[in-house]
Structure 1
Amino acid sequence: MGILQGVKLYPKAIAWSMAISSAVVMEGFDNALIGSFYAFPAFQKKYGQRLADGTYGLTAPWQAGLSGAMNAGQVLGLLLHGFISERLGYKKTMLLALSVNVALVPLLFFAQNKQMLLAGELLLGLPLGIFQTLTIAYASEVCPVVLRSLLTIYVNLSWVIGQLLALSILKGLVSNTTEWSYKIPFAIEWVWPAVILSVVAFAPESPWWHVRQNNLEQALASLHRLLGKGAENEFDANHTISMMVHTNETEKKMLAGTSYLDCFRAKPFAELV
């Protein structure tokens, strides 16, 4: 299958993958905010302390803490994603992460001190970490191999788009000396989940996930939702599901009797080749 043929057969899969990947735009947007706020006078006065020269600012440890808190939360989100999505599915996991994101934004918007702000950054990093991994996994599973590299690259592009949007908004607010100079960007973080939730609610689940759950009828239904009009005439969807089942059984046999501890156990070279 060539790229053009893949686009012709899977236009809906491409659209759903790009829609799910838009969550990473929000992740890039959020990451660009906190470090930029250190230069905002209103933010410095609200969360910083009075310095020897009479100005306000955050100390270096607090700047490092606030900047690293979201990264730490994202690492935890990345680790949790695999366990959650394999049990709930990509769609439900995304809906859950977006809902948690909506619930946590008030911690940032209404933060009264830097401790509350730190807690908000750390907790908000959890759903953002899930977005990073889930979007790539979803893109990899709903599209044919020939399109996977392009759609997973689009996930990275979405992250850059989010940063560009954040910097554009911050550029427009940098001369604002009121608390709204940093509250408006925080408030915008409510917009992303609302838009993405309305799209994800109608998205098809990955047929690969249904196969792993032994739900072959649902897998076939999901696959049909990813195909373009008339695509069924060019290939056999049932045959594609059968290949998914075969691949899944092969992977299960390869993983039988192994655990994460095996990653840290030394084995003779002969067993590895």
Structure 2
Amino acid sequence: MCGFVAIMNSTTLGYDSSMMNGLQILPSYGDYFQLTTATTSLNVAIVFVGAVIATSFAGELSNRWGRRWGLVISSLIAIAGSVLQAAAVHEAMFCIGRLLIGISITVGSVAAPAYLAEIAHPANREMLVGLWGSAYYVGSIMAAAITFGSQYIDSTWAWRLPSLLQLTPSVLSIVPLAFMPESPRWLIYQDRHEEARAMIVKYHGGGDVDAPIVALEYEEICQAIAYEKETRKIEFKALLATRPNRWRFGVVAATAIFGQLSGNNIITYYLGDTLTTAGITEVQTQLGINIGINGFSLIVAVLGSVFCYRLGRHPSFLIATGVMALILIIYTILTKLYSGSDNTSASDASVFLIFFFFGAYSFVWTPLSALYPVEVLPYSLRAHGLAAYSCIVYLSAFFNVYIIPFAMSIT
């Protein structure tokens, strides 16, 4: 249950991206806000402004109040943002709601992976943190299915209903969070040793106080945190204080940037325009493809969470990125040669390439972008390091997502 609730946190961002994809395909959304290229970009990208703002305090919140309270606060902010977004009577109100959702996403993306890594049984840690990233597609499928159904509503509720239902993962998380244990690493860092040991006994030792894993894990955590308390003061500047820390932070930053500039955001947020360029213009077909891509990506991401680690981190990143680059080259050539033509084979090939691209991305980048930064960062740097990672991710995403409509409008 603890792992499930923390993993559910990832569905909010997945829901958001797929929802905005769907809303831009729905005529009622564009008609209501009278969207231009600039306002289309703003409505999508504003979520990343909120996400960047939250990086200034998300790490400290998670360190001071605990990983579990970070998840609670993230859920509450997401609920408020979803309600405001759905009730929007003008674009400013819609954007404020999305700004709040962005804040909730960062608070959750700092607390959830750290919580999973610190509470999971050592044998399941890699898989659970990878599944946190894969759960992105659970939210994506929800939003894709809801927008597919809401297209038949002949009112503004065609886009308001998907906007409101974005609060679903957060509502489902609130009650269980009240009964979930805190991270043993955080408890030990706060000198609450008995609570930490009790948590390890109950969840990792099967209730057996004398289980070997209990003593081993407890001592390892105590020794690691005692050393870190003696040698480091936890501040953002600690990420750059020593050569090893700078190297770790460089790896984390590169993972953040490459993950956002790999071409995935073109399809993640502007699938409708992408399919129109490929000659697929029917609303129902575009929304159906949105469901298909997200369902396929979820299956591949879960498989990646289980199997991609066997290939090694670096080989997995290199192979997946190379495949994605090749697919984008072929896709670009196809759309250039056949855009505006009646060649259905070219359109079908374009859709196949989109699925293939997301298969490569989901198998490696989805699970490893969640796990790799957590692995690279030691406990003392983890909360601030993940906040910095989130900041870089969302700055890259904002830049990318904001300029895409302008680039696509160039003929």
Q: Under a length normalisation based on structure 2, what TM-score does the superposition of the two structures give?
A: 0.55
Q: Which residue type is aligned with residue 101 of structure 1?
A: A
Distance across 1 between alignment mates of 2:3 and 2:240: 35
Query: Does the 8 Å contact 2:22/2:148 carry over to 1?
Result: no
Aligned partner of 2:157 among 158, 177, 180:
180
Q: Which residue type is aligned with residue 165 of structure 2?
A: I
Query: Does the 8 Å contact 1:141/1:206 carry over to 2?
Result: yes
1:154-213 per-residue CA deviation (whole Å, 9 max, x = no partner) reads 011100121122112211222433111111112212332221111111110001000111
Query: Does the 8 Å contact 2:14/2:136 carry over to 1?
Result: yes
Query: Does the 8 Å contact 1:223/1:237 carry over to 2?
Result: yes
- Structure 1 82/260 Cα, relative in aligned 2: closer, same or farther at 3 Å? closer
The farther-off stretch of 30-39 and 223-232 is 223-232
- Structure 1 32/227 Cα, relative in aligned 2: closer, same or farther at 3 Å? same
What are the within-5 Å matches in structure 2 for residues 114-133 of structure 1?
114-133=91-110
Query: Does the 8 Å contact 2:2/2:180 carry over to 1?
Result: yes
Aligned partner of 2:3 among 14, 17, 26:
17
1:43-82 per-residue CA deviation (whole Å, 9 max, x = no partner) reads 122211xxxxxxxxx1111111111111221233344321
What are the within-5 Å matches in structure 2 for residues 72-111 of structure 1?
72-111=49-88
The farther-off stretch of 258-267 and 104-113 is 258-267
Distance across 2 between alignment mates of 1:233 and 1:169: 50
Distance across 1 between alignment mates of 2:242 and 2:33: 50
Unaligned runs of 5+ in 2: 248-411
SS in 2 for 1:189: helix
Query: Does the 8 Å contact 1:78/1:132 carry over to 2?
Result: no
Distance across 1 between alignment mates of 2:94 and 2:183: 36
Distance across 2 between alignment mates of 1:230 and 1:102: 36
SS in 2 for 1:229: coil
Distance across 1 between alignment mates of 2:49 and 2:22: 19
Unaligned runs of 5+ in 1: 1-14, 49-57
What are the within-5 Å matches in structure 2 for residues 24-173 of structure 1?
24-48=10-34, 58-173=35-150
Query: Does the 8 Å contact 1:101/1:193 carry over to 2?
Result: yes
Distance apart, 1:38 and its partner CA: 2.1
Aligned-pair RMSD on alpha carbons? 2.5
- Structure 1 71/251 Cα, relative in aligned 2: closer, same or farther at 3 Å? same
The farther-off stretch of 225-234 and 243-252 is 225-234
- Structure 1 173/259 Cα, relative in aligned 2: closer, same or farther at 3 Å? closer
Distance across 1 between alignment mates of 2:126 and 2:47: 28
Q: Which residue type is aligned with residue 19 of structure 1?
A: V
Distance across 2 between alignment mates of 1:234 and 1:245: 17
Query: Does the 8 Å contact 1:18/1:154 carry over to 2?
Result: no
| % same residue | 18
- Structure 1 262/197 Cα, relative in aligned 2: closer, same or farther at 3 Å? closer
Q: Which residue type is aligned with residue 148 of structure 1?
A: R
Show the counterpart of 2:329.
none
Q: Is 1:205 aligned with 2:191?
A: no
Distance apart, 1:259 and its partner CA: 5.0
Show the counterpart of 2:387.
none
Q: Is 1:216 aligned with 2:202?
A: no
Show the counterpart of 2:170.
193
Q: Is 1:241 aligned with 2:230?
A: no
The farther-off stretch of 86-95 and 204-213 is 86-95
The farther-off stretch of 78-87 and 203-212 is 78-87
The farther-off stretch of 110-119 and 68-77 is 68-77
How many residues end up aligned between the 2 structures? 245
Distance apart, 1:239 and its partner CA: 4.7
Query: Does the 8 Å contact 1:41/1:177 carry over to 2?
Result: no
SS in 2 for 1:111: coil
Distance across 1 between alignment mates of 2:28 and 2:99: 22
- Structure 1 227/100 Cα, relative in aligned 2: closer, same or farther at 3 Å? same
- Higher-helix-fraction structure: 2
Query: Does the 8 Å contact 1:109/1:187 carry over to 2?
Result: yes
Query: Does the 8 Å contact 2:68/2:115 carry over to 1?
Result: no
The farther-off stretch of 32-41 and 67-76 is 32-41
Q: Which residue type is aligned with residue 50 of structure 2?
A: G
Q: Which residue type is aligned with residue 39 of structure 1?
A: I
1:88-140 per-residue CA deviation (whole Å, 9 max, x = no partner) reads 11112211221222222221111111111111111221011222222111111
